[in-house]
Structure 1
Amino acid sequence: MSQINAAGTFTLGDRTVKRLGYGAMQLAGKGVFGPPADRGAALAVLREVVESGVDHIDTSDFYGPHITNQLIREALHPYRDDLVIVTKVGAVRGSKGEWHPAFSADELTRAVHDNLRNLGKDVLDVVNLRAMFDVHGPAEGSIEAPLSALAELQQKGLIRHIGLSNVTATQIAEGRKITAIVGVQNQYNLAHREDDALIDELAREGTAYVPFFPLGGFTPLQSSTLSEVAKRLEATPMQVALAWLLHRSPNILLIPGTSSVAHLRENLAAASLALSADVIAELDGI
């Protein structure tokens, strides 16, 4: 547990969480659809997560769908008082696992109640609205109507805090006119740094930034550079990529996912991986 504490903490709404958390997406079946191949192994990972001191779990009822939330409830309910579970709404799954936007008030209300039921909670700690104007990345489009629907559910006491996912700076500004935004969850890593300016702005404002796909989108050359650095540090490329993110800005909260206890332990070890200024400069050049 002391290992994960090395990364420090940051605020998420009215809660303080450790900067290295866990993302539950990979606990579902292939393509984030259907049940896991080994349910027992998935439950073991979740129990190891909290036993390791993680207090921030990211999930969604459209993972599976319903699967990851049901696993979380089975493994961890009743929940520790310090555990913050963050979920997402704004999408649904088709019969073959395809992703569809779900932005209407009725769809969002149904999604919130699905999350409450499958997680076994009376109120959701944080709900991220995932913009689906482009499934592959942020794209402009108004989020006023769906976010207003979530804000109404927040006022009814079903949601404690609201965040945004897969969004642009314009959409964040639009969202803040409707409700407080406690966090932003976008793709960001060594190879995809389009949000550099946004991260710095959010840090100045005290807002959490939660990157996903910490190793996604690397070219072979970039992966080679990362692997060489990892070898010198006697670490894995994933550990180095996670450590770089932790060094990047104090408002970054990590949610690396895995369905393996061994891989989980490797990820959590990144919290105590020190990077020198020279190494950071080398990684910045990727």
Structure 2
Amino acid sequence: MSSNSITNESDTFEIGDRTVHRLGFGAMRLCGEDIIGAPDDEETAREVVEHAVDCGVDFVDTADSYGPAVSERLIGEAIGDPDDVLVATKAGLLRNRSGDWIAHGDPDYIRNQALTSLDRLRTDTIDLYQFHRPDDEDTPFEDSVQAFADLQDDGLVDQVGLSNVSVDLIERAREHVEVATVQNRYNLNDRGSREALEYCDEHDIGFIPWAPINGDDLDAHGDLLDEIAGEHDATRRQVGLAWLLERSDVILPIPGTSDPDHLESNVAASRLSLSDDEVQRLTDAAE
């Protein structure tokens, strides 16, 4: 691990009454292959989480389905429940040994999963609890959302978020609970959730882009990224993250890694200052 301290210099955003730096850490990659089981080196995984916090990352995102249960456990073991770090998790997906992600939004299941997440994260209250994916086949969306609202009313959850949702679903959810964040796939090349981002921007809802620096998506604009990266002595991934931070004040990228050096490289993107022209060229690239 590098001895040179890298500091998170991203702007901040308020999630409920908590203020966090907009560049966070996604903890999915702390698990084994296909996000199933434990990593080969659990000690290094815990060190990555600890180092992220040491670098000023105060927003960590995970889910009960990562492992399943592995990512939450490692976070709990690594940092416990510090007052100055917001740990977000999710419920609503089942896993199997084949690596499938199966929607399961049954309210009783969600309430049970909240209790297991509390135990693994070593906390009394989940800072941000997100509905991982709508269960269109088996459970009405509103029933699932109401389970999250009830958990908030019971004091087990501080803030409620949604994931993989449309604008219509966000509005339907807001009839039952205040929605603090929305987590959808979004990056330089994949703008499929642009309408959801614009809605969040308008209503000051945090927008957490998953797969924020997907390699294949970055490759689609490799020449442009290489040109801009060369001007800043940066990497493609750093430019992709810097663009997200410039794209909207409500965007909270959560790049994930299990490697300490990659972690530092991601955090270093927070100090990369793109020109207005560079931001516009990147924005126009996939419009």
Question: Does TM-score exceed 0.5, indicating one fold?
Answer: yes
- Residue 15 of structure 1: aligned partner: 18
How far apart, CA to CA, are the structure 2 residues paired with 1:263 and 1:219? 16
**Does residue 63 of structure 2 align to residue 60 of structure 1?**
yes
Corresponding residue for 2:256?
A: 257
Measure the CA separation in 2 of the matches of 1:156 and 1:13.
17
Distance 1:2 1:95 in 2: 37
Aligned length: 279
CA apart distance, 1:86: 0.3
Sort the Cα spacing of 1:181 and 1:260 in 2 relative to 1 into closer, same or farther, 3 A.
Answer: same
Are the counterparts in 2 of residues 203 and 251 from structure 1 also a CA contact under 8 Å?
A: yes
1:38-79 Cα shifts (integer Å, max 9, x gaps): 1121111011011111111001111001111111111112x3
Percent of matched pairs sharing the same residue:
37
Taking the aligned partners of 1:143 and 1:150, their CA distance within structure 2 comes to 11
Measured in 2, the distance between the counterparts of 1:30 and 1:88 equals 20
Q: Is the 8 A contact 1:28 1:63 kept in 2?
A: yes
Counterparts of residues 100-179 of structure 1 (less than 5 Å)? 100-132=102-134, 142-179=140-177
Give, in angstroms, the shift of residue 242 of structure 1.
0.3
Deviations 1:155-179 (A, max 9, x none): 1111111000000000000000000
Q: TM-score, normalised by structure 1?
A: 0.92
Question: Structure 1: how far apart are the matches of 2:239 and 2:135?
Answer: 32
In structure 1, runs of 5+ residues without a counterpart are none
Q: Which runs of 5+ in 2 are unaligned?
A: none
1:210-253 superposed Cα distances (whole Å, 9 cap, x missing partner)? 10111235274423322332123210111000000000011111
Give deviations 1:153-212, integer Å, cap 9, x for gaps.
Answer: 221111111000000000000000000000000011110113334323322322111101
Aligned-pair CA distance for 1:133: 5.0
Alignment of 1:273 with 2:272, yes or no, is yes
> 2:211 corresponds to which residue?
213
CA contact (8 A) 1:70 1:119 kept: yes
Q: Which of 180, 185, 196 is 2:183 aligned to?
A: 185
How much is the aligned-residue C-alpha RMSD, in angstroms?
1.9
Change in Cα spacing, 1:233 to 1:2, as seen in structure 2 (3 Å) is closer
